[in-house]
Amino acid sequence: MGTNIFSRLLKKRAAKKPGPGLDRQDPLKGKAVSSEDLKTRKISRNLKENKEYLVGILGRNVDLVTREINPGGVNRTIWLVYLETLADNNGISESILKPLMLEQFIGEIERPDADFIELIENSIITAPQIRSKVYTMDDVTDAVMSGTVALFVDGCTEALLISLKDWPQRGVEKADIEVVVRGPKESFAETIDVNAALVRRRLRSPNLVIEGLKLGRETNTAVAIAYLKGVVSPGLVQEVKSRVDRIDIDGILESGYIEELIQDDPYSPFPQLGYSERPDRVVSTLLQGRVCILIDGTPMVLYVPVAFTDMLQSPEDYYERYHYSTAIRLLRFLGLIISLLLPSFYIAITTYHQEMIPTQLLISIVAYREGVPLPAVLEALVMEMTFEALREAGIRLPRAVGQAVSIVGALVIGQAAVQAGVVSPLMVIVVALTGIASFMIPAYNQALSMRLIRFPLMLLAATLGLFGVMTGLLAMLIHMASLRSFGMPYLAPLAPLKVSDLKDTFVRVPWWAMHKRPTELVKRNKQRMAPSLKPRPPGEGGSQSSVNPVKRNAGIPSSYRDYGGSGKDQGTGAGNSPSKRSGGGGT
């Protein structure tokens, strides 16, 4: 597509007249068009003025295509403008050009202007999405730069925007960051329409609201705010909208732009917004009463508010049985403590508190450290920075060699450092355990904050011993207790203590015991599931079938109920029998 587009259009560039504010010989000398000018510029009744203005703004783009149509050869001109690299050329031919040139359309040409463009919208164009009542050039240019076709009619003061986009985009693939053994494998893509579809496919509720807006004066990035009406707090939705609306920046390229501009405390090292690449994780946050922010151009979806304990939870916690999920979650909290405090404790104890070490272990430590020229703090700092450099190199290198380089580099450098007497073997073990423990934290942004805080704690341990470590931890806890994420305490439900919400914090109780949504998030519609859902064997207090079921599938055809809504006959195998079906879980 590229060669024929550019070779054909380049021949037309010299013949085009410059528009307002642009220099024909050197467009860089002309004045750039401003958003205020576009918003105040109305569509003229004179088609020639509209053409000159738009070509003056967009005419230097090699992929700009304009097309004039005179149905029946009479004096009624229709003008199309679009970007060939973003629009569906076959769709334009089938849905716009062919219908406009049909013979039965020629007899309607003499209609009044308003009726004529309404006729085109309602009876001629066959495209599924048409936006009418467009009166400003701001809407037109924004739509054209997004792949939409703009249609002008001579004598009309409005334009039609016909959506026939054909963007190059990546398909739905496996999640790379939030990997699970059991659960959905797909992740979001870089297209906001695809991401919204993935959310709606899992949350098929009329209460799901996805509101759209544009951010970035130059990029005009599409942003969507999603929430579940009737569950989410109205005050939270208004707060998210107000913070997003106040953003005034030239471009939004990734979710991190918005995250830094709407967080509560910009100087805190702790993440105050969560993000996920998994549709199931995002849907679970919506069901809990959170608000999600989808941004075009990134597979990461933001959700607010978040608490510190939310960062230690994985989607798989809700897919495996609660026994295993609780054990793994407690192991993650242990890994968090190790990754944050193990180097600091080693430095403090070996430097100031040797009496706390058992005699036999102390003798071994002294023997291993004999000949090491560096004090414990410098030894730890050198090894920690080396480990962080290897981890960063493994991320930036191509996947085929990155993992091998990080593993081999760690082995070679660690062994060489011990043999050279630069560090002790015990320090290598401490740094290795710290690195492995940091990998256990599911949220990458939370793991980054722990890695950052680890270094000040090491310096405090080197200067004040365990007293310095405790002082640093106390300062960190005071800061976390004062921190808010869109009004929700960052340490909730621990501070302030909410006993009812502890069932999904350090442990994960069974699904049948989590009757209500988190109280800090939801002030209404707190009931999440029906009571008496605890499974009971027959003969002990009544069977499970004794509970009156909610007949949600009444009136739905059996083909939709049994086979997930396809409406097609998929056979009656063992997996498709209605009597064999079991209820699906959600987060």
The full DSSP string for 70-101 is: -GGGSS--EEEEEETTTB-HHHHIIIIIHHHT
Q: How far apart are CA 337 and CA 320, in angstroms?
A: 24
Q: At what angle do helices 376-396 and 399-419 cross, to 10 degrees?
A: 160
- Using pLDDT thresholds of 50, 70 and 90, give the confidence band for residue 367: confident
Q: Which residues of 78-112 are buried (b: 16+ CB within 10 A; e: fewer)?
A: bbbbbbbbbbbeebbeebbeebbeeeebeebbeee
Residue 489: HSE in the Cβ half-sphere, 13 Å Cα cutoff: 15
Q: Which tokens is 245 given?
A: 């609306």
User: Tokens 């990134």 label which residue?
Assistant: 298
List Cβ neighbours of 117 (8 Å cut-off, separation of 6 or more): 132, 153, 156, 158, 160
Give the per-residue pLDDT at 293: 97
Mean pLDDT across 128-142 = 88
**Tokens linked to 40:** 């105040």
More confidently predicted of 561 and 488: 488
Q: 298, 304, 83: which is closest to 192 by C-alpha?
A: 298
Instruction: Assess whether pLDDT exceeds 70 at residue 24.
Output: no
Closest CA to 296 of 193, 201, 198, 217: 193
Look at residue 455 and give its three-state secondary structure: helix
CA distance linking residue 146 with residue 135, whole number of Å: 18
Counts of helices then strands in the chain (DSSP H, E): 20, 12
Average pLDDT of the residues in 357-381: 87
Q: What is the pLDDT of residue 404?
A: 67
Instruction: Reply yes or no on whether the pLDDT at 361 is more than 80.
Output: yes
| Poorest-pLDDT segment among 41-50, 241-250, 534-543, 574-583 | 574-583
pLDDT single digits (tens) 191-249: 999 999 999 999 999 999 999 999 998 888 999 999 999 999 999 999 999 999 999 99
The total of other beta-carbon atoms located within 10 Å of residue 24's CB is 16
Query: What's the sign of the alpha-carbon dihedral 44, 45, 49, 51?
Result: positive
Cβ atoms of residues 289 and 273 within 8 Å? no
> Measured between alpha carbons, how far is 194 from 199 in angstroms, rounded to an integer?
9
**Separation CA 273–CA 443 (nearest Å):** 11
Q: Are strands 488-489 and 221-228 parallel, antiparallel or unpaired?
A: unpaired
Which residue ranges make up each domain of the chain?
Answer: 2-163, 192-306, 336-482
Return the minimum-mean-pLDDT range out of 20-24, 63-67, 555-559.
20-24
Alpha helices in 107-155 (DSSP H): 113-119, 137-144
pLDDT reading at 38 higher than 90 = no
Mean pLDDT computed over every residue of the chain: 83
d(CA 21, CA 38) in angstroms, rounded, equals 13
**Tokens at 585, concatenated:** 């879980």
pLDDT at 567 exceeding the cut of 50: no
% the chain with pLDDT above 90: 42
The label of the residue with tokens 């037309």 reads 12
Task: Give the tens place of pLDDT for each residue, 396-430.
Answer: 877 766 666 766 777 777 778 888 888 888 888 89
Give tens-digit pLDDT for 284-294: 999 999 999 99
Q: What is the DSSP string of 2-31?
A: HHHHHHHHHHHHTTSPP-TT--SS-GGGSP
Taking only the tens place, the pLDDT of each residue in 155-188 is 888 899 999 888 777 888 888 888 899 999 999 9
Q: Which residue has the higher pLDDT, 14 or 540?
A: 540
CA distances from 12 to 85, 136, 205 (A): 17, 27, 51
Give pTM, 2 decimals: 0.82
Q: What are phi and psi of 64, to 5 degrees?
A: -75, 130
CA distance 200 to 292: 13
Statement: residue 295 has pLDDT above 70: yes
State the Cα–Cα distance between residues 465 and 349, nearest whole angstrom. Answer: 7
Q: Residue 452, by phi and psi: left (phi above 0), alpha (psi -120 to 50) or beta?
A: alpha
Q: How far is Cα of residue 449 from the mean position of the Cα atoms in its chain?
A: 19
Query: pLDDT tens for residues 67-124?
Result: 988 876 556 788 999 998 889 888 988 888 888 877 555 555 556 666 778 888 888 8
Identify the three-state secondary structure at position 65: strand
